[in-house]
Amino acid sequence: MDGVQVRIGREFKEAKVGEVYQRSATGGVERITYYATMADSKAFGRRLHTVAQAEGCDYSQSRAVLGDGAEWIWQEGAKHFPQSVEIVDLFHVLQYLWGVARAWWGEGAAAKGWVDTQKKRLLANEAAAVIEAVAAWEPADSEGAELKRKTVNYLQGQAARMQYQSDQEQGFHLGSGVAEAACKQVVQTRLKGAGMRWSRAGAEAMLHLRGAVCSSEVIDFREAVRRITFPSQA
């Protein structure tokens, strides 16, 4: 699950995007179904659950919910997919660590080496050691202190979702690249062109259409369009 901003009238509102997919034996995606909406997170969660059930999620031997750390993702995941493993996007975590590294070490080999060390720890199920490494930083100013506070709080809040070695062993993806691709393919490609503004109803209709068109099982809308356009001939 993920969110992406869409221009609705004069304001930007978040469209929520979800995809239910099966990982292929080679590590890619074997089959995927998208769902996108301007509705709130509660409505989105219920509808994505319906999509997952239709795709046979309840019969899968193992399943996971993957997101970037937004609280609404874990709330809906816990409600509708309580038996799933929760995974926070590894690359989102690394973005936080890079922020600390640059503030601490500046640009260069020292910062990269520090991040590489933390990444190895994460991939070995050593999230606690990563949190300790960030906590060991002694910033020289209030800006650095605030960055440290936010990063430690984020890592502590997501620690249970950063068991990446175990997740890999179960065959799960560690990054939300599939979700980010969905934001681009389903939403941005069609709804975020230069100068585009949408009504809420228009955006909602287009999101449903894009979700259907971009999914593995493409729906043929031509007959439905004919019936709507030429009702006398139906």
Give the residues of the chain that fall short of pLDDT 70.
218-228, 233-234
In a domain, 200, yes or no: yes
The pTM of the full predicted model, rounded to 2 decimals, is 0.86
Domain match, 120 and 139 both: yes
β-strands 85-88, 64-67 pairing: parallel
Q: Tell me how far apart the alpha carbons of residues 182 and 36 are, in angstroms, rounded to a whole number.
A: 9
Domain match, 8 and 85 both: yes
In a domain, 119, yes or no: yes
Instruction: Return the number of other C-beta atoms located less than 10 Å from residue 33's C-beta.
Output: 20
pLDDT (tens digit per residue) in 40-87: 999 999 999 999 999 999 888 899 999 988 899 999 999 999 999 999
Domain match, 46 and 9 both: yes
In a domain, 170, yes or no: no
In a domain, 127, yes or no: yes
Domain extent at residue 36: 2-89+175-229
Domain match, 157 and 78 both: no
In a domain, 29, yes or no: yes
Number of domains in the chain: 2
- From 132, 164, 196, give the residue that closes a domain: 164
